[in-house]
Every structure is written in C-alpha cells, then in structure tokens.
A and B are shown apart, each in its own frame.
Chain A
Amino acid sequence: MEEELSGGDMLIRALQDEGVEYLFGYPGGAALHIYDAIFKQQKVQHILVRHEQAATHMADGYARATGKPGVVLVTSGPGATNAVTGIATAYMDSIPIIVISGQVPTDLIGTDAFQEADMVGISRPVVKHSFLVRDCAEIPATVKKAFHIATTGRPGPVVIDVPKDVTDPSNTAPYLYPESVELRSYKPAVRGNGRQMRKAVDALLKCKRPMIYSGGGVVQGNAGEALTRIAKRLNFPVTNTLMGLGAFPGEDDQFVGMLGMHGTFEANMAMHHSDLIFAIGVRFDDRVTNSPAKFCPDATIIHIDVDPASISKIIQADIPIVGQVESVLSDMDVILEAALEKSADLPDKAKLQDWWQRIGEWRAAHGLNHDMPLTESDVILPQQVIQSLYRTTQGSAYVTSDVGQHQMFAAQYYKFPVGRRWINSGGLGTMGFGLPAAMGVQFAFPEATVACVTGEGSFMMNMQELSTCLQYGLPIKMVCLNNQALGMVKQWQDMQYGGRLSQSTYSDSLPDFKTLVEAFGHIGFRIDKPQDLDAAMTEAFSPKLKDKTVFVDVWVDPHEHVYPMAIKGGSMQDMYLNKITTTQQGDYM
C-alpha cells in the first residue's frame, strides 16, 4: 500500500529516498510547510546558514568534494534570488546541486504577491533544468528527475520551484518513489565512438611533441586514475586547467603545472609548440587559450568531452570524441595497449626525449620558484604562505579558495595528489565562495583537514558564515593572504591602467580580523613577519586546535603580482614573466 503524504512530507521523504544527508537552507513563509516536514524527521539533517548564497556554495563544495549532489532549500522571493549567484557558480563549473525554492501559492503566481519572484525565469540561463511543481502528486517523480538530470551527462544545477499550496498539509497524495527515470528527450552519451577512438590512438602514437591538457571534466567524471594510467603508458607531459588540478598528481615528474592566464611558463610554452593536444574534459576557456586565432598553431587536436556542445565551440577539434571521459579513456587505453604490443617502437622515444628536454629547459629558465627562503626579506610573500600551508598539511588537505591573486597563488604552489581536493570557482569566479564551500567539504568529511585560502576582500563577502561554523563546530582553517587590497583588480590597474588604483584599496578601513573571528567565537592569528609564518601555520593545524575554526590573517607584500600572466590578444607563449620582462622581448628562449 502506498502511503498518503502531504507535499511537504513527500519532498523530504523523496530526499531521504535519494540518500541525502544534508540540506543547506534558510526558512521563510513560502517554505514553512517544508520546514515543518523537516522538523518531524531525523534522516535529512538541515543546516541553517546565514545567507542563501552561502547555502548554495556549501552544497556546491559538498558536491565537488564527494561527487554526490548537494541540496539546498530556500524560501520564495529574496531567498530564491539570493541563491542565484551560487546556482550560476555551480552551473559554470558543471556541479550537480539541487535547489528547492518555495514559491507563492499557485493562485497568486503572477500577481506580484508578497515575496514573489519568477524563480524559474530568473534562474533559466544558469540551470541545467528547472521544474515548477503544479501538484503535490508530481513531487516524487519531479525529485527523481531532478537528481537524475543534475548528476548525469554533463552535471549541473537543477531548480525545483514549489508553490506553497503544493506543500500544504491539507493536500495529500499517494507516495511512491520511482526506482528509475526515463526521459525521451535526455539520453547523455556514455561510450565513445570506436572509430574516433582508434583514430585518436593513431595520432597519439605518431606525434612528436604531445601535450595532455586535462580539466574539470576529468575531476567531475572521476577519471583521474584513467588519465594517469594512459599518461604514464605514453610518458606524455600533462598540464591541468585551474579546474582540473589534482586529476593528475601534482608532484609527478610528468606534470608541468597549470596552464593558461596564470599557468606556468613551461606549460604554456609546451602548449604553443606542441604538435598534438590531447584535450580531455576541458572547454578551451578564454583564460586558457588566449587569442583563439593564435592557439597552438601546429597542433592536431583530439578532444574528449561528455557534452557535444563543448567540442569545437572555441577551437575546432580534429578528432572529436563524445562520451564519458572515464569510459573513453579506459577504452582508449585498451586500444593503445594493443597497438603498443604490435609496434614497440611507437611512440618515437627519441623524439619524445627531445621534447622532454625542451620542456626541462623551459622549466629551468622560468619555472615557478619553489624554494623561496623565508628569511630574505622583512615582508611575507604570498607564495611563501601557500608553500608553508603545503608543508604543514603535507599536501593532504582539501583546499578551497576564493577569487583573486590568492586563488592563483594557491593553484600554482599547492600540489594536489588527487582530484576533488582543490575546490574553487573557476568559471564564474565568485568571491565569497571559499568559506561556505569549505564548510560543505567539512560536512562531507568531518575528519578531514579543510583549508580555505582566501583574500580579505573575498572573505568579507560571506563572513557571516563564521556563525554557522560555530553552530555546527566546523574546524575549518582559513588562511587569509591579506594584501589590504582587491589585489587582482589592483594588479590589472598596475599593469594596464598606469597604476591608477580606482576603487581597489581600502587599507584604512579593514577590520582587525583576529578580533572579528574571536567575536564569532573562533581562534584568530595575525602574522606579519616571515619568521613567524611557519610556527603560526603549524599551530593552526596542530592537534590542539583540531576542533576549532581558525583564521590565520597573514599580512603579505601588497605589491606582489601573479606571474606568469598572459598578454592579452597574444598566443599562449605570450606572457609577462615579471613586472619588467615579457616573452615578447628578444631571445627569452
């Protein structure tokens, strides 16, 4: 016998049946029937945030770290609109989250009712799909479809907008959670096309200057192992995008660092001079390619992606392969293994050796400086802070970040051994993402070390969540690279606007962050001398403070810029190497 349930109870029951652990949310009028249903059960734990944007980032951080969808509940109107930035953030990075929004009662929709906002309309360009529930009987199937759509194919956010009358306890319907869904209009590809894969393997074996360019699709598609296996078999250099870090081990010799706007010299040079780009789960973002017309002039391009719309969108692929990255890489590895057995002299080892040597020369000439001594100056360099964090956590932390210079330093200097450890807003670049995302990760893995690398600007965009950290005892460790400025904005103004720092500094009005976090009931440190850095970092991550939320406010050199930096309008080999040198000047190599 099917049970008769109200819409509110059904919604929560459906989440239970989906195996949802946490619901990140904030109550309000249109969602109150649902909140009453939450009160009556224990299985789904509701996390009360302090701002709906943070709820979406928490769900997003949870999803990025676990691969499971994160779930959000907000009320209508302002609750829903506050969630939009987080939805867009998840959309741009293809992260599966489900956002349930209360809506005014059906008969008031369209009347400009109190707290009415057209959530389906407002969110439309930034969701994978959305539903407006018309009847409580539709709830189980709608929830099932929402989870299916969010988590399969190219993942993404799904909104379920639920008018208040639909969850009213006086309306009931039989509850049965569907076992599976069949959508005639939605059948994402899984396996790659055999002929294309054989063609790709052929190209891999014939090239002389290969580059594996892998991205967020490898992380989200859980294909790190498959990538590493094929990369090892071929002994090809690997570069990761900002979203792909960790998919290939950061400490591995074959890893040449991140590519793109702030990528390493050697990664960008090797891309530009490559004769074969093996692009996996990437989307040729403009922050990677620089000018598309000048992109990798000599390269054949193999491109694997689960989303056909990503292929040949910016850069024409010579060998496109549509399918799940993990499945395609595994199938290709089998084809490759067989091909290598037949012809042992492929790929051309000598040519590959030449290529590795060239990359080694690039790395030696202008690679990132990996041992910056802490004693040489009296100001802390931001890079040193990340190095200290890396040493202290032995590379094993989950690291979330906000957006700005600190984000790029973290991406450059923290080496991630596996995917899902580096969590940042790459596509939308949302300041305020770091802290709530770290909280989502900590909920998922209560025992893990979770660090948030932030800037004082970004931190202030969602710092109210320190209160949520206290409520749930989340031992996040925040490391703030405090340069007393909107550093990345300032860097552009220094470099492109003659140093006119329009609205990018505020050093006279910054709060004392140590006192601030103490007011929230947490532990604060303030460090401004290089010799104190390691000790403070060690203490912050010490067993003594294991259960504490800690904020390490590190005052860093406010004049430091992130380098390399792509020169706008150029190719990938056109970079600033520091404040005075560019690769366009004379014979840099």
Chain B
Amino acid sequence: MRRIIAVLLENEAGALSRVVGLFAQRNYNIESLNVAPTEDPTLSRVTLTTVCDDKKIEQITKHLNRLIDVVKVLDLFDAEYVERELMLIKIRAEGAVRDEVKRSCDVFRGQIIDVTHNTYTVQVTGPSDKLDAFIRAVGKTTILEVVRSGVSGISRGDKVLSV
C-alpha cells in the first residue's frame, strides 16, 4: 500500500543523507522524496512516499524518529490529508497535435509555460494519479521530457506538523 510520510528535519548538513541512508540500510523503498526549508529556516520538511504494509510503516516511522536530526514524523495516512505534486512535461507538438495537447491541458487544468514552433512545455499540478493520467492522455504524442517534484502532503483541518 502506498504511504506518505512527512518529516520535520533539522536543516543541517548531512541530515537528509541520514534519512535516505536509513531507507537503503533497512531495505525500505522510496517512491518519491521532496525536501525544502520551511518558514523556519532551521527546519526542513521532507515528504516521502513509499509502498509497504502496516507493520513496515510502523518500523519506518520508529526508525526515522530514532535519527537525532529528525524532529517529528507524521504518517499522513493516519488522518485526512491533501497531496499535491508538480509536473513539468515537454511534448513534441506539431500540426494537429498542438490543438490536441492544448485540449488535454484544459481538461487537466494544466498550463503551457513555454512554447516553441514544435514543442510545448506544460505544467500540471495535482495528486500523483492525476499527473499519471495526464501522461496517459498525451501518451500518443511524443513526450520529450518529464520532471516531477515528488509528492508534498499536508493534513486537513486543525492538525499541524510543527515543533
């Protein structure tokens, strides 16, 4: 089962390598990972997605908590949450395909952020499965390049992850 884990991490040299190293060392897989400083510059927030069962997720969160640089860990699946991912996708767009890509873009509320005579670069945001669906939708055209940010997630309602 796919899980999303949010981690507050000391924004220090080497801290991220401990998190990533833990996953390698304990044979846990990482599907996606994103990290950036928060409003408090001493803290980074990491969002990790992984595929595993309940027993494993318990071990993962416990071992993450054991790392000295990890301030807090939240398994977003414990409650309601929102997830978003950003994708930039460069597509060969010539002739009739240009209109077709534009229509898909509208359907997915994507934005064309760069144009040349034979390419479009499109930005799409949303839950990961929406981005997957967009890739399928334009799959008949030639996809030149895809870059995805990895998932960011946050709990719904009053629940907050902070120190």
Using CB atoms and an 8 Å cutoff, list the residues of chain A in contact with chain B. 120-121, 124-125, 128-130, 132, 149, 183-186, 307-309, 312-313
Say yes or no: B68 contacts A309, CB within 8 Å: no
Say yes or no: B68 contacts A186, CB within 8 Å: yes
Say yes or no: B13 contacts A124, CB within 8 Å: no
Known contacts A307-B66, A308-B65, A309-B62; A125 and B14 CB within 8 A of each other: no
Chain B contacts for A120, CB-based, 8 A: 14
Q: Is B17 an interface residue (CB 8 A)?
A: yes
Compute the total of residue contacts between A and B using a CB distance below 8 Å: 33
Known contacts A120-B14, A121-B17, A313-B59; A184 and B66 CB within 8 A of each other: no
Say yes or no: B69 contacts A309, CB within 8 Å: no
Of all chain B residues, the one with the shortest Cβ separation from A183 is B68
Of all chain B residues, the one with the shortest Cβ separation from A309 is B62
Known contacts A124-B18, A184-B71, A185-B71; A309 and B59 CB within 8 A of each other: yes
Min CB–CB distance B64 → chain A (angstroms): 9
Min CB–CB distance B13 → chain A (angstroms): 7
Of all chain A residues, the one with the shortest Cβ separation from B8 is A185
Chain A contacts for B58, CB-based, 8 A: 312
Say yes or no: A125 contacts B68, CB within 8 Å: no
Known contacts A125-B21, A308-B62, A309-B66; A184 and B163 CB within 8 A of each other: yes
Say yes or no: A132 contacts B13, CB within 8 Å: yes
Chain B contacts for A185, CB-based, 8 A: 10, 68-71
Chain A contacts for B163, CB-based, 8 A: 184
Report Cα–Cα, A374/B70, bound state, in Å.
Answer: 58
Contact with A along B18-54 (1 / 0, CB 8 A): 1001000100000000000000000000000000000
Known contacts A184-B163, A308-B62, A309-B63; A128 and B14 CB within 8 A of each other: no
Report Cα–Cα, A313/B69, bound state, in Å.
Answer: 22
Chain A contacts for B25, CB-based, 8 A: 125
User: With A124-B21, A312-B55, A313-B59 given, can you name 14 additional A-B contacts, CB distance below 8 Å?
Assistant: A120-B14, A121-B17, A124-B18, A125-B21, A125-B25, A132-B13, A132-B14, A185-B10, A185-B68, A185-B70, A185-B71, A186-B68, A309-B63, A309-B66
Using CB atoms and an 8 Å cutoff, list the residues of chain B in contact with chain A. 10, 13-14, 17-18, 21, 25, 55, 58-59, 62-63, 65-66, 68-71, 163
Of all chain B residues, the one with the shortest Cβ separation from A153 is B66
Min CB–CB distance A510 → chain B (angstroms): 38
Chain B contacts for A130, CB-based, 8 A: 14
Report Cα–Cα, A128/B59, bound state, in Å.
Answer: 17
Of all chain A residues, the one with the shortest Cβ separation from B68 is A129
Chain A contacts for B18, CB-based, 8 A: 124
Question: What are the 10 A-B residue pairs with the smallest beta carbon separation, nearest first?
Answer: A309-B62, A185-B71, A129-B68, A125-B25, A308-B62, A186-B68, A309-B63, A309-B66, A124-B21, A184-B71
Report Cα–Cα, A557/B129, bound state, in Å.
Answer: 67
Of all chain B residues, the one with the shortest Cβ separation from A312 is B58
Report Cα–Cα, A282/B52, bound state, in Å.
Answer: 26
Of all chain B residues, the one with the shortest Cβ separation from A186 is B68
Report Cα–Cα, A309/B14, bound state, in Å.
Answer: 22
Min CB–CB distance B41 → chain A (angstroms): 15
Chain A contacts for B71, CB-based, 8 A: 184-185
Report Cα–Cα, A129/B58, bound state, in Å.
Answer: 22
Min CB–CB distance A583 → chain B (angstroms): 30
Report Cα–Cα, A74/B73, bound state, in Å.
Answer: 35
Of all chain A residues, the one with the shortest Cβ separation from B66 is A309
Min CB–CB distance B16 → chain A (angstroms): 12
Report Cα–Cα, A307/B67, bound state, in Å.
Answer: 12
Chain A contacts for B10, CB-based, 8 A: 185
Report Cα–Cα, A186/B59, bound state, in Å.
Answer: 18
Chain A contacts for B17, CB-based, 8 A: 121, 124
Chain B contacts for A128, CB-based, 8 A: 68
Of all chain B residues, the one with the shortest Cβ separation from A131 is B14
Report Cα–Cα, A184/B12, bound state, in Å.
Answer: 14
Say yes or no: A149 contacts B68, CB within 8 Å: yes
- Residue of B58, B65, B68, B70 contacting most chain A CB atoms (<10 Å): B68
Of all chain B residues, the one with the shortest Cβ separation from A311 is B62
Of all chain B residues, the one with the shortest Cβ separation from A308 is B62
Min CB–CB distance B100 → chain A (angstroms): 49
Of all chain A residues, the one with the shortest Cβ separation from B69 is A185
- Residue of A185, A309, A313 contacting most chain B CB atoms (<10 Å): A185
Of all chain A residues, the one with the shortest Cβ separation from B15 is A185
Q: What are 30 residue pairs bridging A and B, where the CB atoms are less than 8 Å apart in the complex?
A: A120-B14, A121-B17, A124-B17, A124-B18, A124-B21, A125-B21, A125-B25, A128-B68, A129-B68, A130-B14, A132-B13, A132-B14, A149-B68, A183-B68, A184-B71, A184-B163, A185-B10, A185-B68, A185-B69, A185-B70, A185-B71, A186-B68, A307-B66, A309-B59, A309-B62, A309-B63, A309-B65, A309-B66, A312-B58, A313-B59
Report Cα–Cα, A128/B70, bound state, in Å.
Answer: 13
- Residue of A120, A121, A186, A309 contacting most chain B CB atoms (<10 Å): A309
Report Cα–Cα, A530/B130, bound state, in Å.
Answer: 79
Chain A contacts for B55, CB-based, 8 A: 312
Of all chain A residues, the one with the shortest Cβ separation from B14 is A120
Chain A contacts for B62, CB-based, 8 A: 308-309
Of all chain B residues, the one with the shortest Cβ separation from A121 is B17
Report Cα–Cα, A121/B24, bound state, in Å.
Answer: 13
Min CB–CB distance B35 → chain A (angstroms): 16
Report Cα–Cα, A522/B150, bound state, in Å.
Answer: 64
Min CB–CB distance A172 → chain B (angstroms): 24
Report Cα–Cα, A128/B63, bound state, in Å.
Answer: 11
Min CB–CB distance A308 → chain B (angstroms): 5
Report Cα–Cα, A308/B61, bound state, in Å.
Answer: 10
Report Cα–Cα, A77/B58, bound state, in Å.
Answer: 37
Chain B contacts for A313, CB-based, 8 A: 59
Report Cα–Cα, A125/B14, bound state, in Å.
Answer: 13
Chain B contacts for A125, CB-based, 8 A: 21, 25
Report Cα–Cα, A184/B25, bound state, in Å.
Answer: 25
Chain A contacts for B63, CB-based, 8 A: 309
Report Cα–Cα, A306/B18, bound state, in Å.
Answer: 22
Report Cα–Cα, A120/B21, bound state, in Å.
Answer: 12
Chain A contacts for B70, CB-based, 8 A: 185
Min CB–CB distance A481 → chain B (angstroms): 35
Chain A contacts for B69, CB-based, 8 A: 185
Min CB–CB distance A312 → chain B (angstroms): 7
